[in-house]
């Protein structure tokens, strides 16, 4: 078992973690799942929670198209029906959508109850569950409604990766690549020189978490250094919103892969570095078509990071380094 300390909570990586957790302080235990994690992951979790605590299961539909206030209303309704109080806890068992939305619902219910993140996807394990960012989409704009609040704990079961299809793991891996590109040239070198099948997932998960956690510890509210983590996400979120509005949603990792390609073009990279990144991503990730910049502009102009109608990017200053607050007028893109 590996323990990483974060801002007043622990990230615990291993197996059989919940069986050692003290639930006696809680009046109610809820577990938020979707149809996939209910089938593939919930049975494992329920075996670890003593039966006397009798957790209540809240199931929602998977998919970015359901990450909205309407689904939150359903979750809050179920919590009210089950008489959740200030001393209840919500366990979010799922990928980034479950973690973002479940955490948001817990953080706002009765002005805040405890929540525990149990990420079940590579993307959520290495990125979404770390750092306390919570929220939902609004009018097809990504993560427009939300807040930053840390969980009580994050429990990571690497074996849950086995419940994902290879393509799902692949697109979760894009956040690991992002962490390497912004902060760790040695990790990037290891990734590009190692086949996907030969990667040791527990080692990759721990390294990626450490990169993000160290950044978050230094800048928990995203006033400076934490903005580095937005590399690939300005264009990426715009692309994700574009496809969501068309009712043809793509997975987050696909959008971020395209975002990294587009933002690499704006970055201060040598031609060799830019070619290295582009070749790796295009060779390993099946990607949708990139929308025209004119099609992305309405979404880019509504990005939450913007300053005075300028679009705000975090960009690479060579592989392993990243600068923040790079402002571009729409005409410059």
Asked whether residue 103 falls in the same domain as residue 70, the answer is yes
CATH code of residue 60: 3.40.50.1970
* 328 in the same domain as 222: yes
Tens of pLDDT, residue by residue, the chain (333 residues): 999 999 999 999 999 999 999 999 999 999 999 999 999 999 999 999 988 899 999 999 999 999 999 999 999 999 999 999 999 999 999 999 999 999 999 999 999 999 999 999 999 999 999 999 999 999 989 999 999 999 999 999 999 999 999 999 999 999 999 999 999 999 999 999 999 889 999 999 999 999 999 999 999 999 999 999 999 999 999 999 999 999 999 999 999 999 999 999 999 999 999 999 999 999 999 999 999 999 999 999 999 999 998 999 999 999 999 999 999 999 999
| pTM greater than 0.85 | yes
Same domain, yes or no, for 305 and 258? yes
- Residue 320 burial (10 A CB sphere; 0-12, 13-18, 19+): middle
- Are 144 and 13 contained in the same domain? yes
Distance CA 311, CA 325 (A): 9
- Which of 163, 190, 214 is the endpoint of a domain? 163
- Give the SS3 label for residue 134: strand
Residue 12 belongs to domain spanning: 2-163
8 and 52 belong to one structural domain: yes
Identify whether residues 76 and 206 lie together within a single domain: no
Structural domain count, the chain: 2
The answer to whether 191 and 180 are in contact (CB under 8 A) is yes
Last residue of a domain, one of 114, 142, 163: 163
Q: Report strand pairing: 89-94 vs 29-34.
A: parallel
Clarify whether residues 151 and 190 are in a common domain: no
3-state secondary structure of 85: coil
Residues 122 and 217 in one domain: no
pLDDT reported for residue 50: 86
DSSP 144-179: EEEEE---SEEEE-GGGGGGS-HHHHHHHHHHHHHH
Do residues 276 and 319 make contact, with C-beta atoms less than 8 angstroms apart?
Answer: yes
Task: Yes or no: say if 174 and 126 are a contact pair by the CB < 8 Å rule.
Answer: no
CATH assignment at residue 303 = 1.20.1090.10
Last residue of a domain, one of 163, 179, 199: 163
């Amino acid at each position: 078992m590996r323990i990483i300390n974060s801002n007043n909570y622990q990230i615990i990586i291993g197996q059989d973690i919940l069986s050692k957790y003290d639930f006696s302080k809680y009046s109610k235990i809820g577990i938020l799942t979707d149809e996939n994690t209910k089938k593939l992951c919930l049975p494992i979790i329920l075996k670890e929670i003593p039966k006397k605590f009798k957790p209540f299961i809240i199931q929602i539909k998977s998919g970015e198209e359901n990450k909205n206030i309407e689904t939150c209303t359903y979750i809050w309704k179920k919590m009210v029906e089950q008489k959740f109080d200030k001393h209840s806890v919500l366990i979010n068992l799922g990928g980034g959508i479950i973690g973002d939305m479940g955490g948001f619902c817990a953080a706002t219910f009765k002005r805040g109850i405890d929540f525990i993140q149990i990420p079940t996807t590579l993307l959520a394990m290495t990125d979404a569950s770390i750092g306390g960012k919570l929220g939902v989409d609004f009018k097809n704009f990504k993560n427009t409604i939300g807040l930053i609040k840390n969980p009580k704990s994050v429990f990571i079961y690497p074996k849950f990766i086995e419940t994902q299809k290879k393509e799902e793991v692949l697109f979760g891996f894009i956040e690991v690549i992002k962490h390497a590109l912004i902060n760790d040239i040695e990790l990037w070198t290891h990734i590009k020189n190692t086949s996907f099948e030969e990667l040791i997932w527990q080692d990759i998960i721990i390294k990626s978490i450490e990169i993000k956690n160290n950044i978050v510890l230094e800048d928990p509210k995203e006033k400076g250094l934490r903005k580095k983590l937005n590399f690939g996400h300005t264009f990426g979120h715009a692309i994700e919103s574009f496809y969501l509005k068309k009712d043809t949603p793509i997975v987050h990792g696909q959008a971020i892969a395209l975002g990294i390609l587009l933002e690499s073009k704006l970055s201060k990279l040598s031609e060799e570095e830019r070619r290295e990144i582009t070749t790796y991503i295009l060779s390993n990730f099946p990607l949708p078509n990139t929308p025209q910049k004119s099609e992305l502009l309405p979404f880019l102009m509504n990005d939450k990071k913007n300053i005075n109608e300028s679009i705000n990017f975090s960009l690479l200053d060579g592989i392993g380094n990243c600068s923040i607050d790079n402002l571009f007028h729409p005409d410059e893109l």
